[in-house]
Structure 1
Amino acid sequence: MPLITNLNNLLKGLLCLIVFALQNHTGAQVVIGTPNLGFSQACASDSFNSFNTTFVFSPESSLQSSNQFIIELSDASGDFTNATTVYTSSAGSITQSPATLNFDIPETTAGEDYKIRIVSTAPAATSTPSMSFAAYYKLQDSPFTINNLVSTGAYCTGGSYLLSIDNPGTGNNDSPLNYPSLTFNWYKETSATTSVFVANGPTLTVSEEGTYFVETNYGTCTSNSFSNRVTISEVSISGQADATIVSSLGNPYCPEQGLTTLSTIGGLSYQWFKDGVEIENATNQSYQTNESGEFSVQVDLGDCSASGSIELVSELFESEINVNETNQLFEGETLTIEITTTAANPEFTWYYNDEIIPGASQNTYDATEFGDYEVVITETSGCNASIMYQFTIQEGVDPFPDVDKIPNIISPNGDFTNDTWTLPLKYTTGTNTEVVILNEQGKVVFQTMDYQNNWPIDDLNLSAINQVYYYIITTTDGKTKKGSITLIK
């Protein structure tokens, strides 16, 4: 019995020690110092978003193995009521003081008075907030355009001119209007290097002469998100201002990139002209073209007007090929194809039945095979444009086949089948036979003593689906053949 009693007392003592130890650990506390910022401003973008803070805590022994450290970000005014968690450590990973943590900021961050604080979970504790700092996530950080990149604008005395951010704008313009959370500040230049704030918003109504531009509002963070400059002038009543015209693809421009857009200053109505001739239905602020020439515009500003012009130059080179789309070649013959071009440093690529012809890289090629051909001329400097020609070579048709009868139907459609009126050999060239063809009104449209099986030589401008002609064939011995010829359209 004494032995059992001693064992019971020992167990009770051990149990008390364990409870005491647990109570002591559960009641442990930690103090977290104010976080020190490793930056002065948090100016983030898609290419950079990493910031650090260092803090101390004590005692280290009070941290439980499940503890996590959390970084909370206030709102733009420094309020933590709806704090955002921007970092959470893994359980038990941070055990020594001081500690340095890295975090990034949300894309919605925009303001001058953000703060962070450090929170621990086991034991629970919260630091005092850090110093205030500016923080912006720069969703758009590249130059953008206003006024369609037109560098001027004008308003009539007593009126105004509207400047607006382009969306989408020309070329590769990355309009900040694509990001709804962004705000904008407009400025007016006061010198070549200084300016004053005018207003905010995506547009600006100008009623004072000067040069204006707009920047995306990223506070004290530097940014490349700014617009081109636009100089606004005032025009007297019934006066006329200069209307600047810009080409979206530049001038000279490369039509290989598509149509270039000509844009001018804003107004009430517009009329575009090419080489002094009014362009029908060209009555918008912009006009698209792939041509060269002098383009001008007349802009109605209300009580005054504006006009301007641009000598637009296309850099597309000129070229010609010396064969038709469809050609005939007899067995054993050669057809020489030649390209003439004004392209700078041209390259020539030849194809036969969709396969590159090895070694064919000059502006000429001697073809001996029937099939489909293609040649691509590429200008390797300047515009870097290409022009392609396609043509077919078919087996030649004997112009003087040995036929038995005079045909009364032909179909001159260029397919090399029944295209011409082909007579028996006893009436063709060398037989001194007279061939006369008359239209329905009896007028002679063709007459020869040396028929080459080549009528109709010219375009007959057929007005009917099946047009009828009449022929008279007279041989050297005075014999005649008469009949009709139906041309199927």
Structure 2
Amino acid sequence: MKSKITTLINKYIFVFVLVTFFSSTKTFGQIGFPTYGGFSQICAGGSIPTPPFIFNSYTINFTFTTANTYVLEMSDANGSFATLTGITILSSQLATSPGSFTFRVPTTTAGQSYRFRVRGVSPAETGPQSSPAIAAYYKSHNIDFTLNGGVSPLNVCSSGSFLLLIDNGPLSNDSPVDFPALKYRWKKNGVFVPGETGSSLSINSSGDYQAFIDYGDCSTFDDGQIEKSAKVTVNIAATGSTFTIASSGGNTICPSSPTTLSVDAGYQYQWSRDGVAISGATANTYVTGQAGSYTVVVNQGCLSTSAPFVLSTTGFNSSIDVQQEPLVNIIAAGETKTITVTTDAASPTFEWYLNGALIPLATTNSYSTPDVGHYKVKIRQTTGCDVTKEYLFELKEGINPKEVPNLISPNDDGKNDTWILPQEYINATTEVLIISPQGNVDLQTVNYQNDWPIKEIVFKSTNPVYYYIISKDGSPVKKGSITIIK
């Protein structure tokens, strides 16, 4: 009897295992696990390819049992498919199993835990995820770079900390700092400096320093890595002298009469304006007519940085009574618009331009015109400091903004139930756009019929506020809000 019971129990266990197995594999019965076609990580891209060349083309293989329309999906950097990485399919083979997709990753790819899966569209079927997860990075910068002008050794004064900086090159995208999303790893004497991931490093001790772009598992963080700086030897020397900048023209100058900035002679120099090194400014003097905050680094066996010297330029005050570009000034058909400039410039002259051409005889501080277009007025101070200012503005034919109601009460009492616009806003070239408090488009139309709100508005604890934009020929002419009250 005991034997029969045991046999019966074993049969139920076997049936349970089979049912469990088939139910657990049903979802992925037609699509096999994606496999990586010859890669264990994705180290793609590069703004300036140099040997060894890095390409952006990878292949995923998978098996399937029935014909379908298959798509390849790549997770986010954490392995979640709730948010997909926007890969680009270069080619695919989906006619017979095993199938394949060849793809490239976007320039924003950066993370350690990406996964892939294949999904059938019709009928709908989602395949299993690839395993293991892989690192994937797009190398937006893939050449070496320099620190602090490539100078080594650097002699630094011991009076405070010194900043190692990744150099910003003269061309677009020739320096890693042109890619703000990049992170870095720094080494001192071959050992990582903990917690430092930015494009600069503040130091206060001697040593050999080097920066590496952090591409996760796509990095080696050694001399074999392409995306690294040259090593810089920093020597902390005795505190140097204090240097003070003098200006031949004082703190305020005229751009047409530059001043000479100077410090003590006999050392090596690098001048900076507003924190940016000035190319070629390596003497103890620097001639400039440009406003800014100037400093000079003096190398006297150690480096000393002067206190900032703020230089401002002599100018004049002025204003114009129209909106400046990119805003637009609307005039009615046939309307003559008068534009006036107000200024305290000494002995000013005025030049007016329409669409880049000088307007003859327009030489006063005001100009009247019925013509639309892009205008410029140039004001020049001719007595004392010769300084010029410009204003750019556009005149465009349309409708002038009229009074628009900002409060309605749709309570069916026959008074103020709908949003009523002036007739000038009701035509085929004027668009009315109304946005709900949640940011959704509630109405978008031309030839508005003064019938909004079309559907009932639900009141909660507060009176809802909607927002509107009225545009003429694609240019906004009126914006505001509409408060709904009971």
TM-score, normalisation: structure 2: 0.41
TM-score, normalisation: structure 1: 0.41
The higher radius of gyration belongs to 1
